[in-house]
Structure 1
Amino acid sequence: MGACSNKSQNLNQKEEQITQLLDINNPGNVNHRYAYNFTLIPNKSVGTGIKQTNQYSTSLSRIEWDMMQNQFWDSHKDSSEWQLIRKALSQKDESAALQILSQANFKLIRNSIQLLVRNKQTFQVPIFVINEPTFYSNQNFELNFETSILKVIKKAIQVRVRSSKLPQDYEISTQNTSTIQEIKQILLEVTKEKACRLFLNGRELIDQNQLGNYSISSGTVIQAFL
């Protein structure tokens, strides 16, 4: 009797710990990973039913937001669990979404698709893949640079990368058509670090975008977090 009671108590404590991850002020809340690009709005919600979340604004333009979503799902393309979550999110009918999750043995915590448990594994779904932001940035983003790339003359440019882990600004000779990912790879090889995030004027640069999309030219200083 005592053993069963202790086991039940332990399960309740574990579920309570998991439930706390829904609190946007909890440091373990997955949305903190995207704080550079998204600002959660307390006490204001968007969406309905299992898709109800806090409202948020973003420093990204609409096209960058779309790219960020695609990048997120691409990083989980080999996970059958995440693909099922994505399928559930794509359903307009909530009952259809719930059926998909139920058949796959997902348990929704507090009836929210933001937090699910399956086979003792926890899945936190970021708000930006559930609902759109209340505000997009109008910061300059050259949409025509990539679409008219055949008309764009490749220009050799030199950009400077600044980081607390570098003794001085690191200058990279590259082209305006180089991608952010290519610049990151150069830095990682030089610094021997495993991960890197790049920012321009407080705005995180997206991997698949080109330098020209951000109007980056010779002499531009990019901030690196290694």
Structure 2
Amino acid sequence: MGICTNKQYAQASEPPQNHRQNRLYLNYQQLANINHPLNVNHKYNNYFQIIPDTTAGKGIKMTNQYTSRLSREEWLEKRKEFWESRVEGEKVYWQSIQKAIEEHDEVNAQAILNACDLKLVNNSIQLLYDNSMHKYDVPVFMINEPQSFPSTKLCDAGLIQDFQETELKIKVRSNKLPQDFEVLTHTNQKHSLN
């Protein structure tokens, strides 16, 4: 994984001068607000709980603090899944964003983004855009660790502890059969239709 180029210059913190681009930039600023309904973090509400008025990280990596509903292992898997599933925008930009997030030195992280002409919205790596004004949203769980992890895995959390076995009647209907038929089973049995 590499970065775009090795050119050096200061990060542009001013909005673009082009009217269309400036309008997009102002829209991006609104999207950066954690309370905006289209903020990227809302896509992951099932996995993470944002803690209002509390921050984690510093500089361009400052985000809202959050707690995880995923175990550490599930959280790491979700992060891996995020990087592997980026299809919008340019792949090299996503690679550079990942490298900048993983970089511990903020000056180096900023240099990685500068080399690709990626610009920060509100001086945060959570929302960036490229020269064609394509935006790159990065949820908080990709940037900082949560305040806490649960003691049980998310997939185990909803299981009923005092599960009772019961009898089930299942009606099977197929367009390949002349009539419906019923199957009698129990909640503790597995079945497969071949």
When normalised by structure 2's length, the TM-score is 0.66
Q: In the TM superposition, what is the alpha-carbon distance from 1:12 to its structure 2 partner?
A: 3.4
Which structure's CA Rg is the greater one?
A: 2
The answer as to 2:91 corresponding to 1:91 is no
Q: Please, which of 113, 128, 132 is the counterpart of residue 145 of structure 2?
A: 132
- Structure 1 pair 137–28 and aligned structure 2 pair: CA distance change class (3 A): same
The answer as to 2:76 corresponding to 1:66 is yes
Cα distance between partner residues in 2 of 1:63 and 1:42: 25
Q: Please, which of 115, 138, 149 is the counterpart of residue 103 of structure 1?
A: 115
Look up the SS of the partner of 2:151 in the other structure. coil
Cα distance between partner residues in 2 of 1:121 and 1:8: 15
Cα distance between partner residues in 2 of 1:48 and 1:99: 16
Instruction: Decide whether the 8 Å contact of 1:76 with 1:83 is kept in 2.
Output: no
Look up the SS of the partner of 1:56 in the other structure. strand
Cα distance between partner residues in 2 of 1:41 and 1:71: 24
Cα distance between partner residues in 1 of 2:170 and 2:34: 36
Q: In the TM superposition, what is the alpha-carbon distance from 1:76 to its structure 2 partner?
A: 2.7
Instruction: Decide whether the 8 Å contact of 1:115 with 1:123 is kept in 2.
Output: yes
Unaligned runs of 5+ in 1: 1-6, 143-167, 171-216, 221-226
Instruction: Decide whether the 8 Å contact of 1:84 with 1:100 is kept in 2.
Output: yes
Cα distance between partner residues in 2 of 1:53 and 1:64: 21
For CA contacts below 8 A with separation 6 or more, give which structure has more relative contact order. Answer: 2
- Structure number with the higher helix fraction is 1
Q: In the TM superposition, what is the alpha-carbon distance from 1:79 to its structure 2 partner?
A: 1.6
Instruction: Decide whether the 8 Å contact of 2:61 with 2:124 is kept in 1.
Output: yes
Q: How big is each residue's C-alpha offset from its partner over 1:30-50, in whole Å with a ceiling of 9 and x where there is no partner?
A: 011100011111110000000
The answer as to 2:58 corresponding to 1:48 is yes
Instruction: Decide whether the 8 Å contact of 2:24 with 2:133 is kept in 1.
Output: no
Cα distance between partner residues in 1 of 2:46 and 2:35: 16
What is the identity percentage for the equivalent residue pairs of Structure 1 and Structure 2? 38
The answer as to 2:149 corresponding to 1:123 is no
Q: Please, which of 120, 124, 132 is the counterpart of residue 112 of structure 1?
A: 124
Aligned amino acid, residue 59 of structure 2? G
Q: How big is each residue's C-alpha offset from its partner over 1:52-76, in whole Å with a ceiling of 9 and x where there is no partner?
A: 0000011111111111111111213
Q: In the TM superposition, what is the alpha-carbon distance from 1:8 to its structure 2 partner?
A: 5.1
Q: Over aligned residue pairs, what C-alpha RMSD do you find? A: 2.9
- Structure 1 pair 219–65 and aligned structure 2 pair: CA distance change class (3 A): farther
Cα distance between partner residues in 2 of 1:140 and 1:38: 13
Aligned length: 144
